[in-house]
A and B are shown apart, each in its own frame.
Chain A
Amino acid sequence: MNVFYWTVAGTASGLIIVGLWGVLTRKNILRIGLAFTIADTGVNLLLVWSGYLPGRTTPILNGDVPAAEAVSAVVDPLPQALVLTSIVIGVAVAALFVVVAVLASRRLGTADIRRMKELKW
């Protein structure tokens, strides 16, 4: 199971690094938004991954998992709860980001972030 465990961790970290790399180097603001989304996905994976235990089931105590055995049968529910929040936050921020990006590119006539630095020093 270690292979699975570390593969997910590697994927997640890889997504975060690639996402940040994209944020820091891409010029089109919409693509920067996409890069943020990728990094977010990586972070979410990492969060769920931190609550993962091998050979267990979803934390739902229906007939398959009696309540008494829950402690040794289910994965950690907390990180999952956190990720739910994080996903919603991610999409909310993305929506706002896109709207601002669209309006910015319309008003400034370009989607190139290098042109959006009238304020400096």
Chain B
Amino acid sequence: MNPSLASALAVFLGGMMLAASVVVLFVRDLLSAIIITGMISLSASVLFLLMDATDVAITEASIGAVLATLIFLWGKGKMGGRE
């Protein structure tokens, strides 16, 4: 991939991820927080791809992004409204 394109993408993704991570901490709704965390993981897997780590990208997408999110969703469901 074009180096400058990669850089631009990295800056964009990185900025988004950092912003999203702060949002996760402060957003009121836990459901949104979980979804946003999943998005951060997904963005990370794109960064992995940009760093030529295909195996890692696949694993992060399937395990880190999907599975972890499912687990947290289950947890939120089971925990109910307890805050």
Contact = CB atoms under 8 A, between A and B. Distances in A.
State yes or no: do A and B touch (Cβ within 8 Å).
yes
Range of interface residues on chain A?
35 or more
Contact of A14 (B6, B18, B56, B79): B18
Interface of chain B: mostly helix, strand, loop or mixed: helix
Contacts of A94: 68, 71-72
A31 B30 CA distance: 7
A39 to B, nearest CB: 9
Interface of chain A: mostly helix, strand, loop or mixed: helix
Interface of A: 1, 3-4, 7-8, 10-11, 14-15, 18-19, 21-22, 25-26, 28, 30-31, 33-35, 37-38, 41, 44-45, 48-49, 51-52, 54-60, 74-75, 80, 83-84, 87-88, 90-91, 94-95, 98-99, 101-102, 105-106, 109-112
